Amino acid sequence: MVRYFSSCRNIIPVVSIEGDKNQTDNRRGEGVFERISLSLDLLKKRNIFYGISITVT
Protein backbone atom coordinates (compact mmCIF):
# COMPACT_ATOMS: atom_id res chain seq x y z
CA MET A 1 0.00 0.00 0.00
CA VAL A 2 2.88 2.38 0.69
CA ARG A 3 4.03 2.10 -2.92
CA TYR A 4 0.49 2.87 -4.05
CA PHE A 5 0.27 5.94 -1.81
CA SER A 6 3.71 7.04 -3.05
CA SER A 7 2.54 6.97 -6.65
CA CYS A 8 -0.91 8.51 -5.98
CA ARG A 9 -0.13 11.61 -3.94
CA ASN A 10 -3.72 12.86 -4.25
CA ILE A 11 -4.91 9.98 -2.01
CA ILE A 12 -4.38 10.48 1.72
CA PRO A 13 -4.53 7.46 4.05
CA VAL A 14 -6.32 7.94 7.36
CA VAL A 15 -5.42 5.57 10.19
CA SER A 16 -7.90 4.96 13.01
CA ILE A 17 -6.91 4.15 16.59
CA GLU A 18 -8.89 4.01 19.82
CA GLY A 19 -6.49 6.08 21.90
CA ASP A 20 -3.54 4.52 23.70
CA LYS A 21 -2.04 1.05 23.23
CA ASN A 22 -4.27 -0.68 25.79
CA GLN A 23 -7.50 0.80 24.43
CA THR A 24 -6.62 -0.01 20.83
CA ASP A 25 -5.47 -3.57 21.54
CA ASN A 26 -8.47 -4.28 23.78
CA ARG A 27 -10.91 -3.24 21.07
CA ARG A 28 -9.10 -4.39 17.91
CA GLY A 29 -6.91 -7.26 19.09
CA GLU A 30 -3.52 -7.81 20.65
CA GLY A 31 -0.67 -6.27 18.68
CA VAL A 32 -2.79 -3.98 16.50
CA PHE A 33 -1.41 -0.80 18.06
CA GLU A 34 2.16 -1.94 17.34
CA ARG A 35 1.31 -2.70 13.69
CA ILE A 36 -0.35 0.71 13.36
CA SER A 37 2.74 2.39 14.84
CA LEU A 38 5.01 0.58 12.37
CA SER A 39 2.74 1.59 9.49
CA LEU A 40 2.81 5.25 10.54
CA ASP A 41 6.61 5.11 10.78
CA LEU A 42 6.79 3.72 7.24
CA LEU A 43 4.46 6.41 5.89
CA LYS A 44 6.57 9.07 7.60
CA LYS A 45 9.83 7.66 6.19
CA ARG A 46 8.33 7.81 2.68
CA ASN A 47 7.12 11.40 3.25
CA ILE A 48 3.50 10.40 2.67
CA PHE A 49 0.97 12.80 4.11
CA TYR A 50 -1.52 10.93 6.33
CA GLY A 51 -4.26 11.55 8.87
CA ILE A 52 -5.19 9.93 12.15
CA SER A 53 -8.66 9.35 13.54
CA ILE A 54 -8.70 8.94 17.33
CA THR A 55 -11.61 7.86 19.49
CA VAL A 56 -11.75 10.09 22.56
CA THR A 57 -13.57 8.66 25.57
One-character DSSP codes across the chain: -HHHHHH-TT---EEEE-SSHHHHHHHH-TTHHHHHHHHHHHHHHTT---EEEE---
Q: What is the pLDDT of residues 1-56, one digit of tens each?
A: 889 999 999 999 999 998 899 999 999 999 999 999 999 999 999 999 999 998 77
Contact criterion met (CB below 8 Å) for 39 and 15: yes
Q: What is the pLDDT of residue 19?
A: 85
Residue 57 has pLDDT above 90, yes or no: no
Q: What is the pLDDT of residue 32?
A: 96
